Structure 1
Amino acid sequence: MQDYQRLLVLNLLAYATQKNLSAAQLCTLSGIEFSTLKKGENLTLTDKQLDDLWLNATHLSHDPLFGLHFGETLQVAALGVVGELIRHSRTIGEALTHAVAFAHLITDIFVMDVTRADKSFFIRFTPDTSRQKVAPLLFSQMMDFFMAFTLHEVDGLVLEKIQPIRISMPPISADLPEYERVLRCHSIQEADYYELSFDESFWDEPILMANYELQGVLLQKVSAMDSAFGDRRKISERIGSLLLVNSYLGIPTLEAIAANLNTSSRSLQRKLQEEGITYQQLSDSTRKSLALHYLGSGQYPVKEVSYILGYNELSAFNRAFRRWTGTTPVSYQKGIING
């Protein structure tokens, strides 16, 4: 089993744990030796085991859009390829061109192509029709995952929430508004292939790399918490994990977190209230921790830290930071550097 594929499976299990499922149970039901998988020992998973893992996760989570939501949360850093992409790429166009070479190391259910046109560029996933016929439900889940995953990783390379101008994919039988939300596009057209279309201006957008060192640390921290506590963690702790691994694009809305946990925002608020905490307090705590890390490193200007944390105005970040610490971001950073 290739390392990239193993990492994808481990991240799928970590995400399932965040949805209150047992990773060990999922592996048992799918005929996978969980202890061997965790240790990183030589392990080959059959197509049937992989198929069963995806199907069991979808069934037990009661989330028909499991793949779509999983793709929304996962960062490319989690699969170990981000270093290769940013090491050899200066722009989005170059990174996507290099990504084509990595796609087959992660999955063989499609061929990925990137094409540049006059006023747009396209990321197309051409399915392996033989796999599609053998396990259509599994196939659709995995394609949903890769569509969402690719879109959100383009975001991560430039620290901006990019909107496709058009999406092409086979007919959607599930919740169309949820596809539109996750994929950020109201122009979804039917086709026999999967394709994300973007405005040509993004092609030469320079890659920003500041967030990936921290992102790797956060992913390791969250994985360790998931392994240690599993489904015994409080809902506030599980939300905290989701906030951390998605923090590189600012703080997700309560509605987005609720969708990822397959519940309603009202139900989520009620559960948090029972634990004596609010979503605003959780998001503030995450922002504060990240702000202290970035400013304390001395590598990032205050304005860049404000942008990374999702503040539209520097003044809003200044007010929040003063509320957290009693001082301004500039004063705090100067104190660290001079101290």
Structure 2
Amino acid sequence: MQDYQKRLALNLLAYAVQRNVDLAQLCRLSGVELTELKSESSPGLTTQQINALWANATELSSDPLFGLHFGESLQVAALGVVGELIRHSRTIGEAITHAAAFAHLITDVLTMEVNRTGQSFKIQFVPSMASQEGSSLVFRQLMDFFMAFTLHEVDGLILQKIQPTAVMLPVEQVNLPEYERVLRCSTIQNATDYLLEFDSRYWDEPILTADYDLQAVLLRKVSVLDEAYSNAKPLSERITNFLLANAYLGVPTLDTIAANLNVSSRSLQRKLQEEGVTYQQLTDSIRKSLALHYLQAGQYPVKEVSYILGYNELSAFNRAFRRWTGTTPVSYQKGYYLTR
């Protein structure tokens, strides 16, 4: 059986590298051998090692909300067989029910309880007894991670950003705006419980077949755990890797990327300018590659491709595509299949 905790740890390391954390230092401080961690035959991590990874990643990234941001960025495919089961469910309700049943394989810090009423359904993250004996910092990072991950992975299953009707968790006033952004709720309740509540209409929402094959290709291109990444990479390269790894869910805004990297939008723009590139140029390159892929696949109408890439108006997508290729999406798609 897969070691899901080890798989999650590898993805934590990959995300920490994207945050410009030195991989070798993080592993050394946490008592983790990367070569052993990547080996399928190696034993799983101890609770002490897992806790150390979370604590050191939080400190080295200088991001007190590391878990929240990691959960926002992680793909459901990163959870292996569990992720496959979730994304091959028929409906959102079924996927969430499966996720709750398998949560214990990923962490012993919490369990997930799903309750449905006539008007809504609630996902409650219940701390386990084991979590009360460990570090409060690690516990909070993990709770933040699972709340953000659960919400944002629903996006990839139905290709739309849903908003909770209610969110409950302990939150400090200084961090409230960032929790409101990531969890998409402007009325977060400061409480001892950890809970997400959604309108019941989403329960039976059918899961779409997103292009996970494309995601797998993009993730192989990124190769964020390559030894070369133990040294700091240019910001533009790290952002490009982040965009590639998450592109199957669409292209995030500059503000979203800046918040995820724990810097201001203005600071991010300035650092990119120093490297001779703009965020618009980076996203244009990603959008162009994705547009060509989707149009060549022939499985999506042009209007749907436009939506997936984040364009509110089809006319805006047409203008962008003409700028990239000199032709319209419809003409490109027709010409592509005529030459095959």
2:142 counterpart residue number: 142
2:261 counterpart residue number: 261
Matched, 1:184 2:217: no
Could you tell me how far 1:240 is from its partner in structure 2? 0.7
Matched, 1:245 2:231: no
What aligned pairs does 1:47-196 form with structure 2 within 5 A after superposition? 47-80=47-80, 81-87=82-88, 89-172=89-172, 174-196=174-196
Could you tell me how far 1:338 is from its partner in structure 2? 2.1
- Cα RMSD for the two superposed structures: 1.7
Could you tell me how far 1:306 is from its partner in structure 2? 1.0
Q: Is the 8 A contact 2:295 2:333 kept in 1?
A: yes
1:105-126 per-residue CA deviation (whole Å, 9 max, x = no partner) reads 1111111111111111111111
What aligned pairs does 1:272-283 form with structure 2 within 5 A after superposition? 272-283=272-283
Q: Is the 8 A contact 1:2 1:105 kept in 2?
A: no
2:6 counterpart residue number: 6
- Give SS of 2:327's match: coil
Q: How many angstroms apart in 2 are the aligned matches of 1:82 and 1:327? A: 38
Could you tell me how far 1:174 is from its partner in structure 2? 5.0
Q: How many angstroms apart in 2 are the aligned matches of 1:224 and 1:32? A: 17
Could you tell me how far 1:225 is from its partner in structure 2? 7.0
1:20-64 per-residue CA deviation (whole Å, 9 max, x = no partner) reads 112222111111111111233322211111111110011111110
Q: Is the 8 A contact 2:164 2:196 kept in 1?
A: yes
Aligned length: 338
1:299 counterpart residue number: 299
Q: Is the 8 A contact 1:18 1:238 kept in 2?
A: yes
Could you tell me how far 1:184 is from its partner in structure 2? 0.6
- Runs of 4+ aligned residues of structure 1 deviating over 6 Å after TM superposition are none
Could you tell me how far 1:217 is from its partner in structure 2? 2.0
- Give SS of 1:248's match: helix
Q: How many angstroms apart in 2 are the aligned matches of 1:326 and 1:171? A: 50
Could you tell me how far 1:193 is from its partner in structure 2? 2.2
Give the letter for the 2:84 counterpart: G
1:290-322 per-residue CA deviation (whole Å, 9 max, x = no partner) reads 111111122222122111111111111111111
Give the letter for the 1:287 counterpart: R
TM-score when normalising by structure 2 = 0.95
Q: Is the 8 A contact 2:17 2:224 kept in 1?
A: no
Give the letter for the 2:169 counterpart: M
Q: How many angstroms apart in 2 are the aligned matches of 1:71 and 1:136? A: 18
User: Which has the higher mean CA deviation after the structures are superposed, 149-158 or 2-11?
Assistant: 2-11
Q: Is the 8 A contact 2:110 2:131 kept in 1?
A: no
Change (3 A) 1:193 1:227: farther
Q: Is the 8 A contact 1:249 1:310 kept in 2?
A: no
Q: Is the 8 A contact 2:125 2:195 kept in 1?
A: yes
User: Which has the higher mean CA deviation after the structures are superposed, 278-287 or 205-214?
Assistant: 205-214
**Structure 2: runs of 5+ lacking an equivalent:** none
Give the letter for the 2:251 counterpart: I
Could you tell me how far 1:185 is from its partner in structure 2? 0.5
Q: How many angstroms apart in 2 are the aligned matches of 1:266 and 1:250? A: 22
**Structure 1: runs of 5+ lacking an equivalent:** none
Q: Is the 8 A contact 1:120 1:197 kept in 2?
A: yes
What aligned pairs does 1:37-56 form with structure 2 within 5 A after superposition? 37-56=37-56
Give the letter for the 1:126 counterpart: V
Could you tell me how far 1:192 is from its partner in structure 2? 2.7
Q: Is the 8 A contact 2:6 2:44 kept in 1?
A: no
2:197 counterpart residue number: 197
Q: Is the 8 A contact 2:108 2:131 kept in 1?
A: no
Q: Is the 8 A contact 1:14 1:226 kept in 2?
A: no
Q: Is the 8 A contact 2:294 2:305 kept in 1?
A: yes
Q: Is the 8 A contact 1:159 1:248 kept in 2?
A: no
Change (3 A) 1:256 1:207: same
Q: Is the 8 A contact 1:17 1:231 kept in 2?
A: no
Q: How many angstroms apart in 1 are the aligned matches of 2:39 and 2:221? A: 17
- Give SS of 2:249's match: coil
Q: How many angstroms apart in 1 are the aligned matches of 2:130 and 2:101? A: 22
Q: How many angstroms apart in 2 are the aligned matches of 1:210 and 1:34? A: 31
1:254-276 per-residue CA deviation (whole Å, 9 max, x = no partner) reads 11111111211111111111111
User: Which has the higher mean CA deviation after the structures are superposed, 320-329 or 210-219?
Assistant: 210-219
- Give SS of 2:248's match: coil
TM-score when normalising by structure 1 = 0.95
